[in-house]
Structure 1
Amino acid sequence: MVSTSLFDVGDEVILLIEAASSIYGIGNGNGMPEVILEKSKNVAFERLAIGLEGGVRNGREFRIFENMDSTIYERRWTQHDVLYREVLGQFEREGQQVPFPAAKEVLDHLVERLDDVYQGMVDLAGWPNLYSLSILYRALLDHYVLILYITDKTGRDGSDATAEAYKKHLFISEFLMEHLKEMKMEDLLNRVENDSEFLDYLVKKFPIMEGFDKGNQKELSAGAGQFREAHMVEYLTKSFEDRGLVELARTMAWMLPEYGRTFPFVHGGAYAGVQWRNMREQGKVDAEMGNKLWLGLTMVGVCKEHCLMLCGVDESFPELLGEFQKLRNVETGP
């Protein structure tokens, strides 16, 4: 089962496709109780009448919501999360075995952080603060690709190796980077002509690291390197292409220019300043925020749905997947 949600961007139509559990071919075959589905349908929600109008982004047309109201996105995000927590909670209460426990641990934490990022975006839209929202949107892109990478690679490899690499190699690599920068700070303040030897610095500060050598550094680099943005996007694009999910592959490849558009906002780039000023002067701040909240809502939802599929909630998932998608489609009433 494959479902699509359309995002019109100029002459292109970017299809965000969420493949159902057939992508992974895993699961314990136990369906979720019907009561969960009924409960999600009965959550009180007002009907939303939202008009659409044309907008422009980087010279290309796209569809956005008229009279953007951030509460629309927050409500749908909250209702989607209610169903997600109910399904996951029921799965755990029944004592179902999780196929990949390390992946579930990592993904649970990432989803929690992803929710915090999206909550921040919604809050900033109420100010309105497009610049800060754009910075958080970039963080959301990073989390989105990372979660899809871990779920897809774990499912295809049939092991927790990717999640273990995230927990160990990436963690230690980031820890070492912090202390490498600290060493460079001390060299700078002490006006050291030649850079200090990092391994010597590390062992002196952390004696437990005695024996850590350049071979270990290379191992860490190899393990952590797979989590580079470009690598993950390339992997996912090829993975979806290999399974005939051409439009989903195109969507993943679209992440590369989207990274480029958002990078200047994070780092105070001149290009970000021009974009920000132009949107303010042309009265397009609400339109751009609405577009980012719309995309963000979809990305958060897709991540949670993929996490459920990886847990093995698949027998009745095609029906549940449709309910999830309705909840994050702000064009329709719940």
Structure 2
Amino acid sequence: MNILKEQLERIQVPDNIDFVIKKAIRKEQNHIVLRRGLTIFITISFVFTALFGTCYAYPKVANELAKIPFIGEVFEMFTDKGLKNASDKGLTNFIDLQETKGELTVAIKEVYYDQAEISIGWAVKGGTLAKNHLLPLFYYNDKCIGGGSGGEIPNNAEDSSYITSNIPVPKDLPDKFELRFIIRENNKTDGKEFEFIIPLDRNKSDSQSKKIDIMKTYKTDNRTMLIKDIVFSPASVAISFKFTHKLGEAYELSLIDKTGNPLVFKRATSSINDNEIKGDAVTEEGVAFFEPIEKIPEELVLSVLSADESVVLDSNKPVLMIMELKLQ
């Protein structure tokens, strides 16, 4: 893991608007690993090491945040290059929704929506994601479409946190709609609940995105992988898949271009229904997110690697499947 550093310039606070970090200059400094969030879609216990969010914060940033209650550019603080890229291109929306209940204040600050994902940047004052067991939930037309958090920057000195929550986009979600975003405190029987109505519109991101339908099945002796589609967006390369494999088999996904350059993994979600467990085999559907690339290549190679405990520390993990994805 690269040693990273980051320095934040002096924060200028306008008199008549909420606190916004205007400029940040990134340099090298030791990092701290964030709490890793697991999507609520995981309904069975199996090891998929790629399921965890991989966001990091830097000490200098955290120290500067102690001076301000809330900021606007939440995505800029995380190491998710895709969300930073989308924010830099003006494809995220800054909103100012805030609610206080007792000692807890929750503020929604930045949102992003494209064909593959919905991301919400928010802040909590008077608690933390972990301490208060805060569960973010996404609703469309009174139906829960996902939940969970991708990363957290805790600020223990101020008892506050800055958080990103991400979900894959379900089928048939409209280009423009009102999202009901609920943050629930789950560590108490009378836990607080914060509800926000957030307008989402992906027209701007769609102009810089492309979805390629694949619908190709790859098979080995005891595994079957259906690659449904790939979305290339300013925030990510997202691969939708359906995978049948041995129940309890631990694996992870790797994606490289034809020159052998790997695409950096971001996160993944997966769901399993009871009727998709048959004997010692299980079928799951999911989306794997990798960092975005500037140009769509002619092909990519997706590999399924073993993540069994006996090989998890081995840099040469056994390859379970290799799939060539023709894109042009």
TM-score computed with the length of structure 1 as normaliser: 0.24
Q: Flag the structure with larger Rg.
A: 1
Higher relative contact order (CA 8 A, sep 6+): 1
Which structure dedicates a bigger proportion of its chain to helix?
1
Q: How high is the TM-score relative to the length of structure 2?
A: 0.24
